[in-house]
Amino acid sequence: MADLVSNVSRKLGQPELEPNLEHAAHLLTGLVEKDAYIGEVYSLSYADALVQIHDHYRAQVGGIPALSFLVATRVLPPGVIDIREEDASVLLLRVLDQADLPNAAEALRVRVENAQRVSGEIDKNWDDQSVMDATTHNILSYAGVRCRVLGTFYVTNIGSKDEPNYVLSFGSDISNYYPNKGLKVFKPRGKFLERIVNYRDAVTYGELSDEAVVIGRVRYASTNRQFQQVAQVPVSIIPRDLLGQKSALFGMTRTGKSNTIKVMLKAIFEMRWQEKPKRIGQIVFDPDGEYANENTQDANGTVPTAIKNVWKSGPEEQRETLKEDVVTYGISPHPNDPDRRLMKLNFFIDENLEIGKSIIDTALAPDRGSKYLGNFCDVRLEAPDPNDHSTTTRFNRRVLAYRALLVKAGLQPPPNLHPVTTRLFDQSLLTALTPPQR
């Protein structure tokens, strides 16, 4: 049967390819879902592409959300293509916004007129067949979409001429285009979208892509509708890609940013017991206790309840050793973390005045309704320019009064502390502060 299909293909004029070239062609066609056709590229440049989409095809693929991926190509599965030809590529596009077609003004006029005809008729819309004829309805169902060209998928040979090894590659631009050559556009979904969002360069990663860790799933919009067939597409990263890099994570409130960071920290920690173990030091600044404290809502097997417990996922025979690799610090004890190391801060020394004051302000926050506590919390201990003598004198007065309060609260000043106590008050103020003699 396979030979029959192959012979029919050759009779239809398709190229007869060597087995390795035929396999290479499947690398490209594996990015294109024929049933997810949505339209045509009618204008292309090095940076942008304009796509014409009919409402019928838009509905068939579950809609086209803003920022979603599209692919444009002349490669159509399951045909046999020669990957050595220039057209053997797949452009990756990202939807940005709508684009007006040449008949946009006329289409708007027709829609407005039809809307006026049904004004007040609650049970009838302006696109009903009784209002708009089928031909007009079909023509006005075309719309334009403006996309950014993100890059090009193509096949390259990383082997030799005699022993070729064809792999899928991605270039972050478009090397050439022809304005009078059409491209079919498809919306990648399901396994096709998964191949795109989790693409790894074969030269850089080789077989190491097996180390990928799933950190989330594709979500194009806050309105996350299941029928679009993208909600269950996993997105993964290679933990070692994060090493030595500056990374940022952005997202709306309650969309899982903290849990994603936990998964990433856990993945980097687990590099300790992989085939090529690495001990990567991580410092987590956690003012709100999101990672050091237990969160039972995260107890789902994937997200650790607390980063301090990340060692529990290691090999059983190594857990005692791994436990010593995770250390938590804090300025106060925590009932669920008896091993927490307390960070002691000397509130008296100049370098810690502002930090210590902020800690006290936080502790007094519930009682700031009191006039005196509110005034105290409003005082700043930021050192002024030493050349401004008047401001410096007032600052030293505040520091002296603040340190006196610390002593009054029971804190012991260091023996080598020499606070400024002279030339802060004139004689009349000192006389007023002197208690009367009895």
Which residues have CB under 8 Å from 147's CB, separation 6+? Answer: 48, 49, 50, 51, 70, 93, 94, 95, 96
For the stretch 360-404, pLDDT in tens is 998 898 888 888 898 999 999 999 998 999 999 999 999 999 999
Residue ranges per domain, the chain?
13-188, 249-342, 350-433
Taken as a whole, the chain contains a residue count of 438
Average pLDDT in the 257-278 region? 82
Average pLDDT in the 412-424 region? 85
For the stretch 338-357, pLDDT in tens is 888 888 889 999 999 999 99
Local confidence band at 80 (pLDDT 50, 70, 90 cut-offs):
low
Local confidence band at 6 (pLDDT 50, 70, 90 cut-offs):
very low
**Alpha carbon 422 to chain centroid, angstroms:** 56
Question: Do the strands 329-330 and 341-342 form a parallel or antiparallel pair, or are they unpaired?
Answer: parallel
Pick 193 or 300 by higher pLDDT. 193
Buried b (16+ CB within 10 A) or exposed e, 312-333: eebeeeeeeebbeebebeeeee
pTM metric for this prediction = 0.74
Structure tokens at 73: 């190509």
- The whole-angstrom separation of Cα 212 and Cα 238 is 5
Runs of H (alpha helix) within 47-200: 55-60, 104-117, 134-140, 190-197
Structure tokens at 133: 């004829």
Q: Is 271 left (phi over 0), alpha (psi -120 to 50) or beta?
A: alpha
Query: Please, what is the average pLDDT of the chain?
Result: 86
Residue 84 has pLDDT above 60, yes or no: yes
Count helices and strands in the chain by DSSP H and E runs: 13, 11
Tell me which H or E stretch contains 234: strand 234-237
Local confidence band at 308 (pLDDT 50, 70, 90 cut-offs):
confident
Q: What is the CA radius of gyration of the chain?
A: 34
SS3 label, residue 53 = strand
Which residues have CB under 8 Å from 336's CB, separation 6+? Answer: 293, 294
Which residues have CB under 8 Å from 301's CB, separation 6+? Answer: none
Do residues 196 and 234 lie in contact, with contact meaning Cβ atoms separated by under 8 Å? Answer: no
- The whole-angstrom separation of Cα 292 and Cα 386 is 40
pLDDT score of 246 = 87
Residue 48 has pLDDT above 90, yes or no: yes
pLDDT score of 2 = 44
Pick 170 or 331 by higher pLDDT. 170
For the stretch 210-265, pLDDT in tens is 678 888 888 888 887 877 878 889 999 888 888 888 888 888 887 788 888 888 88
For the stretch 148-159, pLDDT in tens is 999 999 999 888
